Amino acid sequence: MGEASREWAAKLDGAWAEIARISADARTFDRLRLNRIADSWDNSVYLFVGAARIRRPWVREAVARDGMAYLDWRTRESEYQHLTPEVVAELAAKFDLVGAEVSELTIERSKGRLECRMSVVVERTEVSYALPDIHLYCAGVEALRFDADDRFGIEFSWQDGVPVISVGGEGVVRASDVTLWVHHKAWAWSPPSLPPASAEPSRWRLGRSALHGAALEAATLLHDALLLTRGVWALTMTHLVPVRAFGRVFAGAGTDILAAGSAVRRDAAFRGLIGQWRAAGGAELAPWFEEPLGHLTPEPPAGPAPQLMLAGFEVHHPTATLLYATPGTPWTLRRVAVERPSRFTVDAVAFEHPRAEADRRGLVRIEAE
């Protein structure tokens, strides 16, 4: 195999190694990072497997180079606008921030720190239809207090050079870095300082239709595992997707697929690789191999959940969600969700204490109607 093909395979191996590391213990589970990794690869799986089967080295290497260019494009950092006094002045001129409503807020552990994502529905000062959303991404959260009953009106300020977002009368988010993006179907907003998004690079179109037999089955299994892993973004699925098992099963998948694609009897080689994956999945993934996208692991039994991993609230589909790392070998995720809650409050200090202590101090509170 050529250098480009080996490098591309190594990137897939590295992606699964990172997925395995992140999901090995619920206390280090990183929903955002898992979503980004899987999202960067799910559109490339069929192309990668198809390239591995190409006999002509120069063609295979050309496809690999294009595939890596596309992968680099998919994994680039999003070009969000950093919050600055100038950006705040422009927001204040275009939107009614006093009447804004926080429609969604999530605070969770990611990359060894706390991150907060907040969606704010605002009205434009010029028109009153097709309300836009301001999406705020707060990295390195130092303090956060939020009460769903006090979610109207936002204000931006700085304390010792650190951005501070005030929500309602008592809410606050203080974070080391805040970026934002405005979504509006009828109107695109972008400050002059924001660089245009780079265009998608061209690539060979070797999709699912170019594969058959065991190669197609292997690519489909890998693709579906990545889709489910990407799905941990949805709070209703985060605790159900068997990500840890996927990391075990598909370890070294890139290198193994290259070897199967270069074998003399390729179909037999891919069939053998699928057999290895099934064996590695064991009883835990046996139902999934029969119906990849139709099976999710059952919710773990109720029990003590001493470490808070995520707290979230959404207005449009009224739900309050908590994710806890629950003791065990290994630790697992447990989800607590209340639809149409009458009360939701969270303080970032809750992430520093066991659940019982956080509950006693009222740092996290969900009340049902």
Give the tens place of pLDDT for each residue, 44-90. 899 999 999 998 999 889 999 998 888 887 776 555 788 999 989 98
Q: Which amino acid, 224?
A: D
Contact (CB, 8 A) for 331 and 25: yes
Residue 314's closest CA among 346, 334, 341, 347?
Answer: 341
Classify residue 16: in a domain, yes or no: yes
- For residue 138, what pLDDT is reported? 95
334 in a structural domain: yes
For residue 52, being part of any structural domain is answered with: yes
Distance CA 219, CA 239 (A): 25
Cut 0.95: pTM above it: no
Residue found by looking up tokens 């690079």 in the block: 201
Q: What is the pLDDT of residue 293?
A: 59
The verdict on residue 188 lying in a domain is no
**Same domain, yes or no, for 94 and 156?**
yes
Residues 108, 255, single domain; the answer is no
Which helix (H) or strand (E) segment holds residue 149: the answer is none
Asked whether residue 132 is assigned to any structural domain, the reply reads: yes
Residues 93 and 167 both lie in one domain: yes
Of the three residues 294, 320, 353, the one that is the final residue of a domain is 294
Examine the domain organization and report whether 286 and 316 are in the same domain.
no
Mean pLDDT, residues 139-161 taken together: 95
pLDDT band at 183 (very low <50, low <70, confident <90, very high): low
Instruction: Tell me: do 55 and 101 sit in the same domain.
Output: no
The amino acid that residue 271 corresponds to is R
Q: Does 247 lie in the same domain as 168?
A: no
Residues 231 and 282 in one domain: yes
Looking at the fold, whether 94 and 179 belong to one and the same domain comes out as yes
In a domain, 279, yes or no: yes
Mean pLDDT of 291-314: 66
For residues 21-30, average pLDDT? 89
Q: Are 52 and 258 in contact (CB under 8 A)?
A: yes
45 in the same domain as 92 = no
* Domain identity same for 229 and 246: yes
The domain tally of the chain equals 3
The whole-angstrom separation of Cα 40 and Cα 32 is 12
Domain encompassing residue 350 = 307-368
* pLDDT at 96 > cutoff 50: yes
Alpha-carbon gap, residue 294 to 282, rounded angstroms:
17
44 inside domain: yes
217 and 238 in a common domain: yes
The answer to whether residue 363 is domain-embedded is: yes
Candidate from 124-133, 240-249, 336-345, 358-367 with smallest mean pLDDT:
124-133
> Confidence band (pLDDT; 50, 70, 90) for 291?
confident
Q: Which one of 144, 163, 183 terminates a domain? A: 183
Pick the last residue of a domain from 294, 323, 342.
294
